[in-house]
C-alpha cells in the first residue's frame, strides 16, 4: 500500500495525465458532479457520486459504428474507428466499478463487442472508497462493499491523505509511475477508514433491503404479480432511470444521412420507451406496465438467470434520486418481494 | 474493411435476382460482390439485411443450406426496409450479416422421423429452408407432409416450386388451402388450423409451425386436440431486433433472446416463457 498527502493530489493527477487522458468527477455549475477530463487547475469534486454513471467511458451514449458511401447501386463500408488512447478514470465508486463487471458479461461474452472491448482494454480504473454513503445507497444489498472498491487500483481518502493499493497488472504499472510522489505505508489508516464507512453503512435506511425474492428461475412466480399494475401506474416512460443507470445496456442502431454518406451509429435506448419493441407487424409490449415490468424483471430475474445469479443492479441510488415520479427499484423490490414500505 | 471480425459490421451483398412471388412478397437472391455465398447457415437461421440510410432488419434465410451458390430471402412488403427492397432491381448492393439464432434440430431430433410442416402466408419463408434441406437428405427422414395455406391462390409463396418439385417427390405430400373460394382453384378452401384437424395426422411425427401468431395459436390447439404432444411441435418467433447477438436488449421473452436462443422454439419450452410475444 502507498500513500500521499492530499496536498499533493494535483501532482499525482499531473503525473497520470502525462501518459494518459485522466478523467475525474468535477463539480458543475448546477451543483452536481460529472466526469471531466483533467487539465492543470481542474478541481476534483468532493461529491459522493456523479449524476451520470461512468459507463459512458466504455459504452458511450452515442458512437459511430461505420460509414457507408453509396454510388449508384454500389455500397462501400468505411471503418470510422480511430486508434484509442490509454485513459484513466479516477474516483470511481465501488458500485460503479461493479457495474463494469455487469456490462462485461454482456459485451465481452461471445460474440465479443469489439467497440466496447477496445475501450475496456485502454481504460485504467482507480476506484475510491466512499466516505459518506448516502441514504439512497443500497450497494450492500448486492454484496458490494463501499469500503473495499475494486478496479485496477483501489483508493481510500482520509482527512489529509490518500492511500492506493494496486489490484491488477495495469494498476501496478500505473502505481509504479507514481512512486516518486507516494510512499510505502501500512494499512492501519485504511482499516480505520473502513470501520468508519461500515459504521455509516449500518445506519443507512436501506440496509435491510434483500434480494431474497428475486433471482433466476423466478419468472413465472413474479411475472404476473398484481403489484406491477400499481407500481407502474404513474410511470411516465421518460427513460431517465435507464439513462442514469450504470448497468442499463440496451441500445439502438440507427443510420444518419450526413449529406456526404450515411453514418451508422449506436446509441443508448430504453426499454421504457413505447417504440422500443415496435415493429412492422405489431408491438409485444403495448402498455407502460409491460415496459416497466421488463426493466425490473431484467435486472432482478432475467439477467441473474443468464449470469450465474449476478443481479443487474449495483444499488448506486441514482434512480431513487432522479425519477420524476419517485418510483424506483427499491420500491419494486419491497412491493414485489412482499415487504411493505418500512 | 474485410479483415474486421466484428458482428455489427456487415458484408456487402448483391441482389442478383428478384422474383415476384405474390402481390406483396418478393424473393431476393443475394451473393457477395465476387459471386459467392455470404456465409454458411443452418435451416431456420436468420440474417440481418440493411439498406444504408433506410435501416437494418432481420429476415429468415429461405434458401436451404444445401444451396452452395447463393442465399434467398422471401420478403413481404410491410415496413421501411422491406418497402425499399421491393423497389430494388438486380445489381443493387445491400448489406448482410449473420447467421443468427439457433436452427431447427434437423440432424438429431428430426432424423428418422415423419415430419409435418404447417405454414401460413409468408410463414413458409423460414420453413422452405428446412423443407428443402430435408428433401435434399431425403433418406434421413420419414414421410413428409406439408400443409400450406394463404389468403388466395395468388398469395401462395413458392407456388411453382411446390407444384413442380415438392408435389412430385416420393414420400412428400403437399396439402394446399386458401381462405376463400376462388375461380380457377379446385383445391381445399378453409383456414389452416381446421384443415390440419380435417387431415387428422398420425401423432408420432415432429410438427413445425410457422405463420401469423393467430394461426400458430389455433393450429397448436388443433394439433394438441388430435393428440400431438407439445414436445414434438416446433415454431419460430419474431420480435424486433437490432443487434442479432443478444446484447441490444430488445427481443427477449423472459430470459430468452429470440435472436440468440431462438427464433426456433419447441412449443413446450415456449409455454414456460411469459406470454409476451
Res. B267: pLDDT tops 80: yes
- pLDDT for position A186: 93
Same domain assignment for residues A293 and A239? yes
Does residue A75 lie in a domain region?
A: no
Digit-coded pLDDT (tens) for B32-78: 999 999 999 999 999 999 999 999 999 999 999 999 999 999 999 99
Same domain assignment for residues A240 and A192? no
Mean pLDDT of chain A: 94
B36 touches chain A (CB under 8 A): no
Interfacial B residues in 138-157 facing A (CB < 8 Å): none
Same domain assignment for residues A25 and A95? yes
Res. A260: pLDDT tops 90: no
For residue B190, give the CATH number of its domain.
3.40.50.80
Digit-coded pLDDT (tens) for A102-152: 999 999 999 999 999 999 999 999 999 999 899 999 999 999 999 999 999
A277 touches chain B (CB under 8 A): yes
The proportion of chain B whose per-residue pLDDT surpasses 90, expressed as a percent, equals: 92
What's the average model confidence in pLDDT over B130-158? Answer: 95
pTM for the structure as a whole = 0.93
Chain B residue numbers touching A105 (CB-CB < 8 A): none
Does residue B157 lie in a domain region?
A: yes
- Number of domains making up chain A: 2
Model confidence at A17, pLDDT cuts 50, 70, 90, reads: very high
Does residue A68 lie in a domain region?
A: no
Sequence-ordered list of residues with C-beta below 8 angstroms from that of A317, at least 6 positions apart, any chain = A134, A136, A137, A138
Same domain assignment for residues B219 and B131? yes
User: How far A77 CA sits from the closest chain B CA (Å)?
Assistant: 7
Digit-coded pLDDT (tens) for B148-185: 999 999 999 988 899 999 999 999 999 999 999 999 99
- pLDDT for position A259: 87
Same domain assignment for residues B222 and B134? yes
- pLDDT for position B158: 86
Same domain assignment for residues A152 and A226? no
Mean pLDDT of chain B: 94
B77 touches chain A (CB under 8 A): no
- pLDDT for position B244: 94
Does residue A214 lie in a domain region?
A: no
Q: Which domain holds residue B58?
A: 11-100
Are the C-beta atoms of residues A120 and A58 closer than 8 Å to each other? yes
B95 touches chain A (CB under 8 A): yes
Res. A342: pLDDT tops 50: no
Does residue A136 lie in a domain region?
A: yes
Task: Say what angle helices A169-177 and A9-19 make with each other, to 10 degrees.
Answer: 120
- pLDDT for position B3: 40
Res. A278: pLDDT tops 80: yes
Res. B1: pLDDT tops 60: no
Chain B residue numbers touching A269 (CB-CB < 8 A): 242, 248-250
Does residue B205 lie in a domain region?
A: yes
Q: Which three cell numbers stand for residue A11?
A: 501532482
- pLDDT for position A266: 96
Please identify which residue in the block is written with the cell numbers 432491381.
B89
Same domain assignment for residues B93 and B202? no
User: Within chain A, where are the H helices?
Assistant: 9-19, 94-107, 114-122, 169-177, 188-201, 219-222, 227-232, 240-244, 288-297, 303-306, 318-322, 329-336
For residue B73, give the CATH number of its domain.
2.40.30.10
Res. A340: pLDDT tops 70: no
Interface predicted TM-score (ipTM) of this complex, two decimals: 0.91
- pLDDT for position B4: 45
Taking an 8 Å cut-off on Cβ atoms, the answer to whether B8 and A65 are in contact is yes
- pLDDT for position A81: 87
Q: Tell which of B54, B75, B100 closes a domain.
A: B100
Res. B6: pLDDT tops 50: yes
- Number of domains making up chain B: 2
Q: Which domain holds residue A264?
A: 219-336
Digit-coded pLDDT (tens) for A56-76: 999 999 999 999 999 999 999
What residues does B175 pair with on adjacent strands?
B147
Please identify which residue in the block is written with the cell numbers 443481479.
A311
Same domain assignment for residues A183 and A309? no
Same domain assignment for residues B92 and B133? no
Same domain assignment for residues B141 and B230? yes
Closest CA to B1 of A225, A131, A114: A114
Same domain assignment for residues B208 and B152? yes
- pLDDT for position A281: 79
- pLDDT for position A282: 87
Same domain assignment for residues B119 and B92? no
Same domain assignment for residues B86 and B118? no
Res. A318: pLDDT tops 70: yes
B277 touches chain A (CB under 8 A): yes
Does residue A94 lie in a domain region?
A: yes
- pLDDT for position B5: 56
Are the C-beta atoms of residues B175 and B146 closer than 8 Å to each other? yes
Count of C-beta atoms within a 10 Å radius of residue A159: 8
- pLDDT for position A325: 94
Res. A18: pLDDT tops 60: yes
Same domain assignment for residues B159 and B226? yes
Res. A341: pLDDT tops 60: no
Amino acid at each position: 500500500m502507498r500513500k500521499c498527502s492530499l496536498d499533493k493530489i494535483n501532482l499525482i493527477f499531473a503525473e497520470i495525465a502525462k501518459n494518459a487522458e485522466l478523467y475525474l468527477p468535477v463539480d458543475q455549475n448546477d451543483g452536481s458532479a460529472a466526469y471531466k477530463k483533467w487539465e492543470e487547475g481542474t478541481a476534483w469534486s468532493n461529491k459522493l457520486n456523479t449524476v451520470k454513471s461512468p459507463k459512458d467511458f466504455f459504452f458511450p451514449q452515442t458512437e459511430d459504428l461505420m460509414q457507408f458511401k453509396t454510388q449508384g447501386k454500389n455500397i462501400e463500408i468505411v471503418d470510422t474507428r480511430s486508434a484509442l488512447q490509454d485513459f484513466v478514470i479516477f474516483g470511481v465508486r465501488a458500485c460503479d466499478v461493479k457495474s463494469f463487471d455487469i456490462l462485461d458479461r454482456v459485451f465481452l461474452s461471445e460474440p465479443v463487442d469489439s467497440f466496447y472491448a477496445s475501450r475496456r482494454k485502454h481504460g485504467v480504473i482507480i476506484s475510491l472508497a466512499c466516505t459518506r454513503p448516502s441514504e439512497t445507497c443500497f450497494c450492500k444489498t448486492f454484496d458490494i462493499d463501499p469500503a473495499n472498491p475494486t478496479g485496477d487500483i483501489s483508493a481510500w481518502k482520509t482527512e489529509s491523505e490518500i492511500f492506493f493499493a494496486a489490484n491488477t497488472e495495469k494498476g501496478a504499472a500505473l502505481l509504479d509511475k507514481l512512486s516518486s510522489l507516494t510512499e510505502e505505508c501500512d494499512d492501519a489508516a485504511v482499516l480505520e477508514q473502513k470501520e468508519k464507512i461500515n459504521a455509516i453503512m449500518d445506519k443507512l435506511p436501506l440496509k435491510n433491503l434483500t434480494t431474497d425474492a428475486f433471482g433466476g428461475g423466478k419468472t413465472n412466480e413474479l411475472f404476473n404479480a398484481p403489484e406491477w399494475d400499481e407500481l407502474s401506474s404513474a410511470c411516465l416512460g421518460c427513460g431517465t432511470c435507464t439513462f442514469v443507470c450504470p448497468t442499463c445496456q440496451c441500445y439502438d442502431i440507427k443510420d444518419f444521412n450526413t449529406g456526404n454518406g450515411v453514418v451508422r451509429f449506436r446509441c443508448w435506448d430504453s426499454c421504457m420507451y413505447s417504440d422500443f419493441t415496435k415493429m412492422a407487424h405489431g408491438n409485444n409490449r403495448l402498455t407502460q406496465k409491460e415496459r416497466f415490468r421488463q426493466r425490473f424483471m431484467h435486472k432482478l430475474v432475467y439477467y441473474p438467470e443468464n449470469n450465474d445469479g449476478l443481479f443487474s443492479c449495483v444499488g448506486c441510488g441514482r434512480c431513487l434520486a432522479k425519477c420524476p415520479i419517485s418510483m424506483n427499484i427499491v420500491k419494486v423490490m419491497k412491493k414485489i418481494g412482499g415487504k411493505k414500505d418500512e | 474493411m474485410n479483415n474486421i471480425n466484428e458482428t455489427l459490421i456487415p458484408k456487402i451483398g448483391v441482389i442478383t435476382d428478384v422474383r415476384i412471388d405474390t402481390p406483396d412478397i418478393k424473393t431476393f437472391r443475394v451473393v457477395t460482390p465476387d459471386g459467392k455465398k455470404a456465409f454458411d447457415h443452418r435451416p431456420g437461421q436468420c440474417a440481418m439485411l440493411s439498406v444504408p440510410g433506410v435501416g437494418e432488419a432481420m429476415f429468415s434465410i429461405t434458401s436451404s443450406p444445401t444451396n452452395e451458390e447463393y442465399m434467398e430471402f422471401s420478403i413481404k412488403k410491410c415496413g421501411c426496409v422491406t418497402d425499399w427492397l421491393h423497389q430494388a432491381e438486380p445489381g443493387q448492393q445491400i448489406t448482410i450479416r449473420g447467421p443468427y439464432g439457433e436452427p431447427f434440430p434437423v440432424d438429431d431430433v428430426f432424423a428418422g422421423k415423419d415430419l409435418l410442416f404447417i405454414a401460413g402466408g409468408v410463414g413458409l419463408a423460414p420453413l422452405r429452408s428446412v423443407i428443402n434441406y430435408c428433401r435434399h437428405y431425403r433418406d434421413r427422414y420419414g414421410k413428409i407432409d406439408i400443409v400450406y395455406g394463404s389468403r388466395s391462390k395468388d398469395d401462395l409463396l413458392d407456388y411453382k416450386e411446390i407444384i413442380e418439385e415438392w408435389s412430385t417427390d416420393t414420400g412428400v405430400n403437399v396439402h394446399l388451402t386458401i381462405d376463400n373460394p376462388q375461380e380457377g382453384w379446385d383445391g381445399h378452401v378453409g383456414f389452416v388450423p381446421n384443415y390440419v384437424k380435417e387431415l387428422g395426422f398420425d401423432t408420432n411425427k415432429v410438427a413445425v409451425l410457422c405463420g401469423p401468431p393467430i394461426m400458430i395459436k389455433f393450429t397448436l390447439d388443433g394439433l394438441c386436440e388430435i393428440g400431438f404432444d407439445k414436445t414434438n411441435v416446433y415454431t419460430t418467433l419474431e420480435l424486433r431486433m437490432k443487434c442479432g447477438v443478444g446484447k441490444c436488449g430488445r427481443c427477449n421473452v423472459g430470459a430468452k433472446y429470440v435472436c440468440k436462443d431462438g427464433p426456433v422454439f419447441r412449443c413446450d419450452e415456449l409455454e414456460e416463457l411469459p406470454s409476451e410475444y
